[in-house]
A and B are shown apart, each in its own frame.
Chain A
Amino acid sequence: MTQPAANCPNCGAPIVFRWSSSVQTVCTYCKSILVRTDVDLKKVSQVADLPPNASPIQIGTEGVYNHHSFVAVGRIIYEYDQGTWNEWHVVMNNGSAWLSDAQDNYVVTFAAPGRKLPPQARIGQQYIWDNETYTVTTITKAHYRGVEGELPFQYWDKDDVVFVDLMSEHGKFGTLDYSDESPALYLGESVEFDDLKLKNLRSFEGWQ
């Protein structure tokens, strides 16, 4: 897998893709949001200042999930009534996944396409996917606050989005993402910080 190199159409800075399937990235110099076309990179927007966020993860953080090593290559930041949270786009040798960090609660999910999804959901409703019963536990009205790094799809022109979180009795976790016309499902599980064996984390003043 080669890492295609290009230049930012806005400032000319070199743009390196860590993951060949990335569709969108953000220029680290001028914060232009760049989308890959067949021939070149196109600037579609500009990232405003990201909100202060204390996720210990950063672009380049490496870890292990299910015996697969991964690296964080991008993220989407959302704002909700308990501050902000991050959906880190992590790439593994077998594809990409999401490592969500909300107040240091970590969940790994994978896109789960091809399932019949409800147009809306209520708290307490149950759904069965892959023989696992999921119960709707939270409905979060979130506000898109920005992106960083590489993403597997175009994601920049967003405003308010609704997320439906589901949990199972066995620690499985699901999210219904209603940010597009048709909902998208992500399935995964809650993970312990220590189990991810994260490296290249941010450091915090006063904490080693």
Chain B
Amino acid sequence: MSTGSPNPPAAPHVKAMNCPGCGAALTLRSFTQAVTVVCESCHSILDAQDPQLKILQQFKKTTGEDPPLIPLGTRGKIRGTPYEAVGFQRRTIHVDGIPYSWHEYVLFNPYKGFRYVTEYNGHWNDVSTLRALPALNTFAGEVTVNYLGENYRHFQTAEAATTYVLGEFPWQVRVGEANEVTDYVSPPRVLSSEKSGKEVTWSMGEYVSGRDIWKSFSLSGEPPAAIGVYENQPSPFSADTKQIWTIFAAFAILVVVMLIGFASFASDEQVFQGDYVFDTNSHGEPSFVTDPFELKGRTSTLELSTHTSLDNNWIYLNYALVNQDTEKAYDFGREVSYYHGYDEDGSWTEGSRNDSVAIPSVPPGTYYLRVEPESDRGHGTIRYEITAKRDVPQFSFFGIALLALLVPAALITWRSINFEHMRWAESDHAPMESSDDGDDD
């Protein structure tokens, strides 16, 4: 019987080694899952699968330093799972000859594997690889991608080159290597496809704030401020826009209900009626006071109507509604005119024989009217009837209320459109800039 006992492999431990390039101490944090590891002191890219750590590439001279904001070896929690930052790379694209760079952090958990965090100009994304294949659709020249029922719009396609690396990677990484990267957005998510050779790898990113990253990894200081609008940054207005229009709709319904309520509950009670004749030929004092009338109940709107027998004539009525007890007077004047006739276009009319005016917030009490009619002299008699109704429903208030609600809704909608404009200005589908025709106010 041969010797030996079942010796299950020892618990994997963090490997400490020395870099064959410079001799500096080196740790393999992802156990044996990394394919390449970059020495943090001499920046040699080493074969992590090779016990001798064969040097694959040295790049320090060409790239300079680019210290990661999340130091390698830092642990943090993403969606409740602890992850350790094990790798870091800078990737650069060129748009119209201008380089744009972002950073990718490789995160590792020995049970859940690799996950990524990206950062561009202070905008962060939590990224993981996809477990299903997205469906590509082209509709009306626009490419969209559907993933698990959600549509993503094409944002940008570019050649992304690795321009700096540190730490461990679960794939073969080299400085200078470029892949075609395409982003499709549906804020706060972004789907990215990465083409290497014929193979396409898909990943999904979800926008996170720098503050959340700082909290997750317990980093000191402040995260860098986010500059501009990022491709999948959720619009701070899109939720507001929806909300404010919902509120607007709710208020509009409420206003209409109130309007109906006021109309049906208003007592609309006639409190005064009087018939008068104004003789334009008379030389007597035309002004007079009416019999007193009682306004009962609550303070309400008083509607004063004038119905006349005008016929190609006008009358001006100086009114004063006077409280008999307090002597408080509401002064107002009404001009009523009515003209009609025939010309080459047929019959015409101008003005009206009737007029009505609302006097708001008239308290209860005993009132009388002082009336002083005026008109051109020598036009015969003008007959008119004065009626007063209390607690008359008013509609203009509701219109003003709706308008007051419409203003913030329109403002937020405009800001939301502006935000989307800024987002898409950075994409392959930027609207044409109208710089010289001056219509971009």
Task: Using CB atoms and an 8 Å cutoff, list the residues of chain A in contact with chain B.
Answer: 10-13, 28-30, 50-54, 56, 58, 81-84, 103-105, 123-124, 135, 137-138, 167-172, 190, 193, 201-207
Contact = CB atoms under 8 A, between A and B. Distances in A.
A190 B113 CA distance: 14
Interface string B255-290: 000000000000000000000000000000000000
For the residues of A in contact with B, the DSSP-based class is loop
B4 interface: yes
Contact of B132 (A29, A170, A205): A170
Contacts of B11: 202-205
Contacts of B32: 51-54, 83-84
Contacts of B200: 137
Interface of B: 1-2, 4-6, 8-9, 11-14, 30-35, 49, 82, 109-114, 129, 131-135, 146, 170-172, 198-200
B113 A104 contact: yes
Contacts of B13: 204-206
Contacts of A81: 35, 172
Contacts of B30: 54
Contact of A83 (B4, B6, B49, B111): B49
A150 to B, nearest CB: 15
A169 B348 CA distance: 73
A206 B12 CA distance: 10
A104 B111 contact: yes
Contact of A11 (B1, B82, B112): B1
A12 B1 contact: yes
Given A82-B170, A82-B172, A206 B14 contact: yes
Contacts of A51: 32
Given A30-B2, A58-B8, A123-B199, A105 B33 contact: no
A29 B6 contact: yes
A126 to B, nearest CB: 10
Nearest to B199: A138
B35 to A, nearest CB: 5
Nearest to A123: B198
Contacts of B114: 103-104
